[in-house]
Amino acid sequence: MTETQDTTTASPAGSPSRRALIGWGGAGLALGAVAAGGAVAATRAGDDADPAAAEAGGAVAFHGAHQAGIATPVQDRLHFAAFDVKTDDRAEFVRMLKDWTAAARRMTAGHAVGEGAYGGLAEAPPDDTGEALGLAPSRLTLTIGFGPSLFERFGLAGKRPAALVDLPRFAGDNLDRTRTGGDLCIQACADDPQVAVHAIRNLARIGFGKVAIRWSQLGFGKTSSTTPDAQTPRNLMGFKDGTRNIAGTETDRLKKFVWVGDGDGGKGESWMTGGSYLVARRIRMNIETWDRTSLQEQEDVFGRDKGEGAPVGRAKEHDKPFLKAMKPDAHVRLAHPDSNNGITILRRGYSFTDGTDGLGRLDAGLFFLAYQRDVRKGFIPLQRQLSAKDALNEYIQHVGSAVFAVPPGVRDKDDWWGRTLFSEEA
């Protein structure tokens, strides 16, 4: 299996949209099916991810050795949902995972969930909720993860990876239970928010009675780039942060820092080979305080200048930082791999603004998403250092937290999310 799942090809001009492909009303069904096959094939462009081809509107291949949505060039919008499991019936849960996989396969290709969504019997609820009809695939990716608590169910205790640790309490954590944890998660990324919201909603609908959404988060304004040479987007503090992210094309660094390797885990953990571990943190910014802080203080806190994003004493964003020129508690200095024995994580965070709190302050910040090969060697030591020392802590609060084991990719049309975990042969 080549790593084609991160390769994106924009729809050729005039290619069918969701609208044309769905085949509602009966007559369009046969044509829809043929066109669908063609569209899926068209998304498989080759072995080399070409970020230049990653234009909005195209489809990202669903099948591959790894799940899409990790090394995939970061899309513009996010809808992330954590679910609690509501059933004790393993067979029923596995059936849902298979139904989810089939739906995800169709939605990421730009189709409605069910082939007969609008050609079916009108007495039944439609197979698809419909609000994404007519919209382009929008580079939708759907990525599933399994939380620690899932392994207390379904006889899975022996398969919980050692690397899937419960996160420790970090200094300054102010976690809201209603935004923390979850038995499983779906990360939906797309260039159109309606496409991402549609996907989560339809998976929740399919899962009705088996799972329920525990919490969810919308994100916009991606705060990191997995595309080489791209400008790093700004976070809501106005700074470029995390400019040295792992690019989706850096297969060596992905292999070293992101993908779980063959012999990584102990007994019962081989099901994670090709997967990764995801840490999600809802980081609220004290926006109003930050906005009344002097430019000098802001730049000292980050260790960069605000305009260009250059490290202290350097001219350009991508110039190599001279860490000793920064204050000892500067964010860039403390987060840099050179200050952390080389720790490197792949970040896919998004900004969020969820209205205002009861005190008229913006409920806004960074929804931090990081993928790594082993949380014990990635986020945990990094956050121990940052939570203890980072000057930024005066302006932020971690208010939500979760960790998930993200299984390997779905290989082909007969494969399904979680097969390597739930199938006895695996």
State yes or no: residue 180 binds a second copy (CB under 8 A).
no
State yes or no: residue 304 binds a second copy (CB under 8 A).
no
> Are 187 and 78 a contacting pair, CB within 8 Å?
yes
State yes or no: residue 49 binds a second copy (CB under 8 A).
no
What is the rounded CA–CA span in Å between residue 300 and residue 330?
Answer: 6
Size of the site for a second copy (CB under 8 A): 70
Position among 153, 234, 384, 411 found at the interface with a second copy (CB under 8 A): 234
Task: List % helix, strand, coil for the chain (3-state, nearest 5).
Answer: 30, 20, 50
State yes or no: residue 296 binds a second copy (CB under 8 A).
yes
Position among 37, 38, 46, 307 found at the interface with a second copy (CB under 8 A): 307
Identify the helix (H) or strand (E) that includes residue 30.
helix 29-42
Burial grade of 397 (CB within 10 A; 0-12, 13-18, 19 or more): middle
* Least separation in angstroms between CB 237 and a second copy: 7
Q: Which tokens in the block code for residue 88?
A: 């004790």
State yes or no: residue 25 binds a second copy (CB under 8 A).
yes
What is the rounded CA–CA span in Å between residue 312 and residue 291?
Answer: 21
Position among 20, 102, 165, 204 found at the interface with a second copy (CB under 8 A): 204
Residue with Cβ nearer a second copy (41 or 124): 124
Nearest to 279 by CA among 216, 162, 370, 347: 370
What is the rounded CA–CA span in Å between residue 415 and residue 407?
Answer: 12
Stretch that binds a second copy, among 94-102, 121-129, 369-377, 416-424 (CB under 8 A): 121-129
* Least separation in angstroms between CB 299 and a second copy: 7
Nearest to 226 by CA among 73, 367, 373: 73
Residue with Cβ nearer a second copy (133 or 258): 133
> Are 317 and 287 a contacting pair, CB within 8 Å?
no
State yes or no: residue 351 binds a second copy (CB under 8 A).
yes
State yes or no: residue 294 binds a second copy (CB under 8 A).
yes
Instruction: Kindly give, in sequence order, each residue whose CB lies less than 8 Å from that of residue 142, ignoring residues fewer than 6 positions away.
Output: 62, 68, 69, 104, 107, 108, 186, 187, 188, 199, 203
Position among 353, 385, 393, 397 found at the interface with a second copy (CB under 8 A): 353
State yes or no: residue 292 binds a second copy (CB under 8 A).
yes
Position among 3, 250, 305, 390 found at the interface with a second copy (CB under 8 A): 305
Position among 236, 286, 318, 411 found at the interface with a second copy (CB under 8 A): 236
Residues 129-158 that bind a second copy (CB under 8 A): 129-134
State yes or no: residue 230 binds a second copy (CB under 8 A).
no
State yes or no: residue 209 binds a second copy (CB under 8 A).
no
Query: Which sign, positive or negative, has the C-alpha torsion 233, 234, 235, 239?
Result: positive
Q: What is the dihedral of CA 230, 232, 234, 239, to 10 degrees?
A: -140
* Least separation in angstroms between CB 236 and a second copy: 5
* Least separation in angstroms between CB 327 and a second copy: 15
Residue with Cβ nearer a second copy (138 or 226): 138
> Are 337 and 257 a contacting pair, CB within 8 Å?
no
Q: Which tokens in the block code for residue 274?
A: 């090709």
Stretch that binds a second copy, among 151-159, 192-200, 264-272, 407-415 (CB under 8 A): 192-200
* Least separation in angstroms between CB 131 and a second copy: 5
Q: Which residues pair with 402 in a beta bridge?
A: 280
Amino acid at 66: H
* Residues near a second copy, by CB under 8 A: 22, 24-25, 77, 79, 84, 118, 120, 122-126, 128-134, 178, 192-194, 197, 201, 204-205, 208, 212-218, 220-221, 231, 234-239, 287-288, 290-296, 298-299, 305-308, 351, 353-356, 358, 360-362, 364
